[in-house]
Structure 1
Amino acid sequence: MKIIIGSNNPAKAAAVKNAFHYQQTEFLSLDIPSGVSEQPFSDEETIKGAINRAVGALETGNGDIGIGLEGGVQETSHGLLLCNWGALASKNMEPIIAGGARFILPVEIAERLRAGEELGPVMDDYAKKENVRKNEGAVGIFTNGLINRSEMFAHIMNLLAGQFHYQKASK
């Protein structure tokens, strides 16, 4: 099986590889555009970005499965939540989607995002680190390392892989 990952982000690629580690699988990471804002600002926009990456990966990479993983934020009455969505595309089926962990972002981070900044650079500035998005992610910073970005996306990938295998087995 050939799985095309719609991102070159190492945290996302690790999550995909982990979900399919038990199979004879070839992985290819491609930089597939999300087709949404650099900072998705709703579940709907984040889902759309994940689906766009998954479908684009499948088509561009000529694989069996395309995977799209997208992080975003969702405004709520409790504050601005970090949200994460994934999509799995395969020939002859509608994309499968799954969502992951959510938590309230600190007020100073939320204010900067509402003002138009993107979470990745804001987190680099806040944590005084480089490439937080390619390493522990905001989730790693705000959980004091108990959960990192790859682990957060691993949960989504397990939901996607499980649904995919269920659908294949039930046909």
Structure 2
Amino acid sequence: MKRCGVGSKNQAKLQAVASVFAEVDYDVQGFDVDSTVSAQPFSDEETKAGAISRAKAVLEKDVEIGIGLEGGVMQMNDGLYLCNWGAIADKQNHVFTAAGAKILLPEEIANGLHRGEELKTVMDLYTNRHGVSHEEGAVGIFTNGVISRADMFIHTVRLLYGQRCFYLS
């Protein structure tokens, strides 16, 4: 069985990758790697860079392909939006990227992020729970459970897998 490494041990990210790659006979394993970007990325560019860095870093493990998924935020005229990016890399130096859905964050959450706090910390305080980022995530809270963090990343992972299949076939 081929091995797919994910540049994170976050349960929502692992669930997203496993839901796509287990279907095509990959063993999916998470690894702690450095994103090389801020703990709380504040732009599409920085979030994308974190995903690419994670995907490439995981290739140092015993895997055929590496996947990096990074959540961040981006400022727009009407407020601060949640964003996410993904990257898939292989040992032949192919790298493909994709972005997912965006959602406007409530002002209370945005204020915490502008003060320098990480989204996962702000969300845990907001919900009075621990580990929201490993479960439904901010997107799950602010869509009333209609879309979970794993669901949001599944879309991005499917875009990555599809691109890789198209360009390398």
What is the distance in 1 between the residues matched to 2:123 and 2:98? 25
What is the distance in 2 between the residues matched to 1:9 and 1:107? 26
Equivalent residue number for residue 140 of structure 2: 140
What is the distance in 1 between the residues matched to 2:88 and 2:153? 13
| TM-score for both structures, normalised by structure 1 | 0.96
Percent identical pairs in the alignment equals 49
Deviation at 1:62, TM superposition (A): 2.5
Deviation at 1:93, TM superposition (A): 3.3
What is the distance in 1 between the residues matched to 2:9 and 2:92? 26
Structure 1 unaligned segments of length 5 or more: list them: none
SS in 1 for 2:110: helix
For the Cα contact (< 8 Å) 2:21–2:28, is it kept in 1? Answer: no
Equivalent residue number for residue 76 of structure 2: 76
Q: CA-to-partner distance for each residue in 1:113-144, whole Å, 9 max, x for gaps?
A: 01111100100000111100000000000000
What is the distance in 1 between the residues matched to 2:21 and 2:28? 10
Structure 2 unaligned segments of length 5 or more: list them: none
After the TM superposition, which residues 46-61 of structure 1 pair with which residues of structure 2 at under 5 Å, given as runs?
Answer: 46-59=47-60, 61=61
Amino acid at match of 1:10: Q
Equivalent residue number for residue 45 of structure 1: 46
Equivalent residue number for residue 113 of structure 1: 113
What is the distance in 2 between the residues matched to 1:135 and 1:87? 21
For the Cα contact (< 8 Å) 2:70–2:86, is it kept in 1? Answer: yes
Q: CA-to-partner distance for each residue in 1:66-95, whole Å, 9 max, x for gaps?
A: 000000000000100000000000122331
Equivalent residue number for residue 5 of structure 1: 6
SS in 2 for 1:126: helix
Equivalent residue number for residue 33 of structure 1: 34
**Structure 1 range deviating more: 21-30 or 158-167:** 21-30
What is the distance in 2 between the residues matched to 1:9 and 1:148? 14
SS in 1 for 2:147: coil
